[in-house]
Amino acid sequence: MDEVLREDADPFDIIVLGGGSFGPIAAAHAFNLDSTPRPRILVLEAGPYFVPEHVQNLPQMDISAQFGRPGNPDVQRDRVWGLPWRSKNPNVDQFPSIAFCIGGRSLYFGGWSPELLESETQQWPSDLLNELRARPGGYFETASAQIGTNTTNDYIHGPFHEAIRQQLFEGLGGLPNVYPLGEIPQHLDPEQVNRVAPEKREQLKLEAPLAVQGTGPRAGIAAGNKFSSVPLLTFAARRAWKASRPPGSLYGNDAKKQLMIVPNCRVARLMTERNGDTWRVTEIVVQDSRTGQKFPNLRVPPASAVVIAMGTIESTRLALLSFQGIPNYHLIGTNLLAHLRSNTTINVPISALKYLPPTV
């Protein structure tokens, strides 16, 4: 933090709060934009630098994700898993933990990542949507390629999978309240779509957009190459360090470095000022996550942007503490949703599969 607070340092143009699943992606994306001058970016993360890659890409290290009721909610488990929220009802399971570290849950994540539908983004600015959905090169397309959701579901594949997919595709037409497949964009790479017979291309929309490279040695065996945000941030940080070195020097210049990351730095609150209907962040209240020691407040220049990317619970806490008086303050946190998962086992007679060849 001392390097960030140097008086001779250039001001930061973008300050990203949270270095977990989303903050590093935003920071790396802004750093990699071909812009002159390049913005100076700071990432503040409450946890430590933990591991450089997704845990399933690493040797067995006993650092799996933690779920269920914790023992002591004030003690982190397995080095990084902390409890940002606890219920007032002692009979209710507590929130099952957040990974406080660079990369956050992206180090453990391998889930379902569909692209947002048009009906979900009707109120979004048109210029933003154009940038997100541009083909080729839009952000959705780039992100899909990075996390592997633009490929067919090779994790589960073969004639059995294709037979079920075709029968499901035909059966959906007779069900009420089903989202029309014709209104769902094709999320797979065009080259893959074009390799399939035209009459079967709509079926490809039923492929699960799983954020995991799925090509294994055989069906059902996952490959060890899952996405996390850490390599993107690491690559950008190394480029920034290299670019900051004076000619002939072996050392980077922190006062000029275009991307800096501060781990173990908890953002406690944002100080704001109001000018008519405009609000801006003037200072960031920060402290050492390990000791609780308060750092000097980080000043935010008037033209700088502050990006809140701390996850659902922490971002809501910060907003409730920091933005009293803004329009619609009473709505902050009212749309929080729980991620529910149900495991269901279904037995289907093989004779009921119309499109499975009898030789399979």
Same domain membership, residue 159 and residue 188: yes
pLDDT the model gives residue 218? 56
Question: Taking a C-beta distance cutoff of 8 angstroms, is the pair 150, 188 a contact?
Answer: yes
- The count of other CB atoms within 10 Å of the CB of residue 266 is 20
Same domain membership, residue 145 and residue 94: no
Residue 341 lies in a domain: no
pLDDT the model gives residue 220? 52
Same domain membership, residue 258 and residue 211: no
> Domains in the chain: how many in total?
2
Same domain membership, residue 164 and residue 130: yes
Residue 80 lies in a domain: yes
Residue 359 lies in a domain: no
Same domain membership, residue 208 and residue 79: no
Residue 333 lies in a domain: no
DSSP E strand boundaries for the chain = 14-17, 41-44, 81-82, 98-99, 259-262, 265-275, 278-288, 298-299, 305-308
Same domain membership, residue 91 and residue 5: yes
**How distant, in Å, are the alpha carbons of 234, 254, 339 from that of 107?**
14, 28, 18
Same domain membership, residue 310 and residue 277: yes
- The first and second tokens of residue 21, run together, are 């699943």
Question: Taking a C-beta distance cutoff of 8 angstroms, is the pair 298, 319 a contact?
Answer: no
Same domain membership, residue 289 and residue 148: no
Residue 174 lies in a domain: yes
- The first and second tokens of residue 159, run together, are 């004639």
Same domain membership, residue 314 and residue 233: yes
Same domain membership, residue 232 and residue 105: yes
**What range defines the domain where residue 79 resides?**
1-109+228-327
pLDDT the model gives residue 217? 55
- The first and second tokens of residue 52, run together, are 């450089």
DSSP category for residue 205 = G
Measured distance CA(302)–CA(306) in Å, rounded = 11
Measured distance CA(337)–CA(312) in Å, rounded = 9
Instruction: Give the residue ranges of the chain where pLDDT is below 50.
Output: 68-69
Residue 342 lies in a domain: no
pLDDT the model gives residue 284? 97
Residue 89 lies in a domain: yes
Same domain membership, residue 80 and residue 214: no
Same domain membership, residue 311 and residue 219: no
